[in-house]
A and B are shown apart, each in its own frame.
Chain A
Amino acid sequence: MSATPERNGAYGRVPRKEDARFVRGRGTFVDDIQLPGMLHGAVLRSPLAHARIVAVDTTAAEAHPRVEAVITGQALAELGLAWMPTISQDAQSVLATDKVRFQGQEVAFVVAQDRYSARDALELIQVEYEPLPVVADAQRALETGAPVIRDDLPGKTSNHIFDWEAGDKAATDAVFAAADVVVGQDMLYPRSHPAPLETCGMVADSDPVSGRLTLWSTSQAPHAHRTVYALVAGLPEHKIRVVSPDIGGGFGNKAPIYPGYICAIVGSMKTGRPVKWVEDRSENLMSTAFARDYHMHGEIAATADGKVLGLRARVLADHGAFNATAQPTKFPAGFFHIFTGSYDLRAAHCEVTAVYTNKAPGGVAYSCSFRITEAVYLVERMMDILARELGMDPAELRMKNLLRPEQFPYTCPTGWQYDSGDYPRALALAMDIAGYDDLRREQAAKREHGEYMGIGISFFTEGVGAGPRAHMDILGLGMADGASLRVHPTGTAVLGVSCQTQGQGHETTFAQIVAGELGISPDDVEVVHGDTDRTPFGLGTYGSRSTPVSGAATAMAARKVRERARIVASAMLEVSPDDLEWADGKWRVCGDPEKAKGIAEIAMAAHSSLELPAGVEGHLDSEVVYNPPNLTFPFGAYICVTDVDPGTGQVSVRRFIAVDDCGVQINPMIVEGQVHRGLADGVGMALMQVIAFDADGNCLGGSFMDYLLPTPVECPSWELGETVTPSPHHPIGAKGIGESATVGSPPAIVNSVMDALAPFGVRHADMPLTPANVWSAIQGRRLRTDLAVT
């Protein structure tokens, strides 16, 4: 650990390099790219959730004067591309050949000379469907006689995907049997969608002469996508270049490969011209990776005085029509089994059963750190339910059971090794900022005259920054990331990284990391990312991987440069390298601070005619691959204050206090921005949004009129605090922050609303806590928020 706070002044609230172009409207997003001769693609989608395809007639569409190509599933089948592998070792239909399995599924692709003609031609394609019975309710997917959705899979006779478990069942059963108190609760983490403002899209440019394929793509993982295209389509990988230009938000939505990308590539290869495909908002919401959809039953065991002993969870996971969840191979339920959270308990066991339904595929997306959202929600709801059962204050219950600082590194009952933390300090700080005791007094006074305010707490621990590669891979690609650092003769530098910013400010923070290690200005470091031709291989940005993995790679690359510089400096100063010390951003002779050389002088010397000693070839450049030894474990304590109108069920978030610990912060301004974003996510998920379905499998969240996003009016002015517990194994002590608040905030909001509704005897209601849902809960009626019918 060498986390020096000052880092030569490079760390801190440095304004973002990115903003100069964005505030002028000069960013370059995929849909901004115009190439000579470019055509436009559009996808025909199924209106039905489950139906056999009897016939597809494209004659009229092909006759459209501005149409260049129409591609059907049959045509793709002839190329061996009608199906593609998913990240979860399943197959997903690119364009349907046999059946459609969810509303919005891809059926045909039109390539036309302009956007509008492509859409016009979709109307000219005649598809004859034979409707089939629909499975829209995950809880009925395994019933005898349920229609089998995946009859394409040999021998498949049910909608069952997998059973998976973690923890020690016998030990957990024993703890529960001996406990004074056991409480259980059913809860749904509803299907949500990351809904970045920029939808997914691609410009595919196949050069028939050179065989080069250039793909401008909304991708959070350009290198991994390139490899998958090579493997799926049999294209030579060295001829494929994936470019992720500016990305208009990702949040997990842009990690997978979608059928539209394949269609754009095939369209370009078929026409010999560039093809742009950009989905519309409904296509984005109805067909691309959703998140959550976990039907959970939690049980918690404790002593009568509030010592938590054990935790159990049973989960029914709705994976939609294709198992396309995106997580490391060994973990079909993601990292859900970190569900013991931040507490010191004796035993835990969870089991997850996943099923197919006639809904869009996906499952791990939306800033969830591989399903830690669901895990934290479960344990934090259970803690509040237990507190109420015991008649204890939920803050007191948590304080009594939080892991103590001296327990780190701590191995939890399901095997995760938490690297570091000081949990009680974070909760105490949050309570202090909130004025917790005063809030409780105010709440009691208000209840006296029929006003209902709630105070909700959540405490979360995340595990982010996957690998190590030995335990974590995606489609066989180990989760390690590279960084390359070139230092020019004048001492400015170009860093290449495999992670992909979607707004997180990598061009700024990664320059700060290099600057901090080399004693140069962040302005003198150019960060290159999002171009497979110009950056080293790596798995990309999701699961809060950027700073924990690529940030570490960056620091290690810079330190390698620094060590080379030491050898060069020793030649310049005519001393042994052992007589040099790194201080104030320079190599200087021990005991003689006047004799010192900075990176710029050293870089020039390294490129000059200076006779260099053994061990350095003549420049300072370096390249590293960082294989994380463990995850990093950011944590935080959140407190939410809500006011609930029992007459209308309307909830307003009055205050939200968030204390986060992401270890060493490179740029606190950007850290705060990341937290703000996740807190707004929490407001959306907890109170407003769900992708629900009716009995026929019609998606009821297919536009922003139905899938509600928080605006400035629903969000309070966030109140932030921080503690800093450096990660002991990360080169700069950082832990990652991108998803913390999305993970931590929903249970704080739900706990707050349930706290407000306590006088009505309401113990639990599922998200989203819309006015209708809250009102129903007050009336003693529980809604199924994932279905149109109750």
Chain B
Amino acid sequence: MQITISVNGSAYTGEVEPRLLLIHFLRDQLGLTGSHWGCDTSNCGACVVWLDETPVKSCTVLTAMADGRRVLTVEGMERDGRLDPVQEGFARCHGLQCGFCTPGMMLTARWLLDHNPDPSPEEIREALSGQVCRCTGYENIVRSVRWAAQQRGGDGHGGHRLAPGGAQ
């Protein structure tokens, strides 16, 4: 079937199998391998991307369902050569080890900060509870998101809405 999807601001039009999962479309067809596949069952969150304004688990979304919509992946978080504060926070606060869950974690954290700019540690844990990290024990992930939250307004970069695609 024919689809048109905006991924990180660039439009892709092409033929896909109706059963093609979004994660495989992004990874295998577009070569955007930053999003990872981890479990098949929507439990781990390694595959989280944004579909329009919402984080989704792309291992259980059909590419066809993204037709006409905007997708944001980890590759689209950096803007004009500057890391998103969430990305910077993860690096500064040792919020990752093997790096496999990290893209999904960061995209959900970005969504959280867009909706709750100053979340408590408990609110961060709740927001990330659909995602699994096997390396960090989560403590430093919470610190990373808190660090990103504290940058809000500090340099004019933090806390912006990372609206994907659209007119870009």
Contacts and interface: CB of A to CB of B under 8 A. Distances in A.
Contact of B100 (A21, A29, A704): A29
B139 A717 contact: yes
Given A197-B36, A673-B140, A23 B135 contact: no
Interface centre among B44, B46, B130 (most CB of A within 10 A): B44
B41 A703 contact: yes
Interface string B125-142: 110111111111111111
B166 interface: no
B87 interface: yes
Q: Assign chain B's interface to a size class.
A: 35 or more
Interface of A, secondary structure class, is loop
A116 interface: yes
Interface in A112-162: 115-116
Given A29-B100, A677-B97, A15 B92 contact: yes
Contact of B128 (A251, A672, A680, A712): A712
Interface in A469-504: 502-504
A20 B91 contact: yes
A34 B31 contact: yes
A677 B106 contact: no
A22 B137 contact: no
Contacts of A61: none
B144 to A, nearest CB: 10
Contacts of B106: 23
Nearest to A248: B100
Given A116-B19, A673-B94, A503 B121 contact: no
B57 to A, nearest CB: 12
B40 A676 contact: no
Interface residues of A, number: 57
A762 interface: no
A677 B31 CA distance: 31
Given A25-B35, A705-B41, A197 B92 contact: no
A430 to B, nearest CB: 17
A609 interface: no
B34 interface: yes
A157 B102 CA distance: 50
A514 B134 CA distance: 29
A272 interface: no
A710 B44 CA distance: 10
A29 B83 CA distance: 22
B22 interface: no
A76 B8 CA distance: 46
Given A196-B134, A249-B135, A16 B94 contact: yes
A709 B33 contact: no
B24 interface: yes
B100 A198 contact: yes
A23 B87 contact: yes
Interface string B81-119: 001000110111010111111110010000000000000
Contact of A115 (B24, B34, B103): B24
Interface in A540-562: none
A711 interface: yes
B41 A713 contact: no
A24 B75 contact: yes
B44 A197 contact: yes
Interface in A174-227: 195-199
Interface centre among B24, B126, B139 (most CB of A within 10 A): B139
A712 B124 contact: yes
A408 to B, nearest CB: 30
Contact of B98 (A34, A195, A248, A669): A248
Nearest to B103: A25
Interface centre among B83, B106, B133, B138 (most CB of A within 10 A): B138
A282 B40 contact: yes
18 contacts: A15-B92, A23-B87, A24-B83, A27-B34, A196-B134, A197-B100, A197-B101, A197-B132, A198-B100, A248-B99, A251-B134, A673-B135, A676-B137, A678-B137, A680-B136, A703-B41, A712-B141, A713-B126
Q: Which 6 A-B pairs have the closest CB atoms?
A: A25-B34, A503-B98, A22-B99, A676-B137, A248-B100, A25-B74
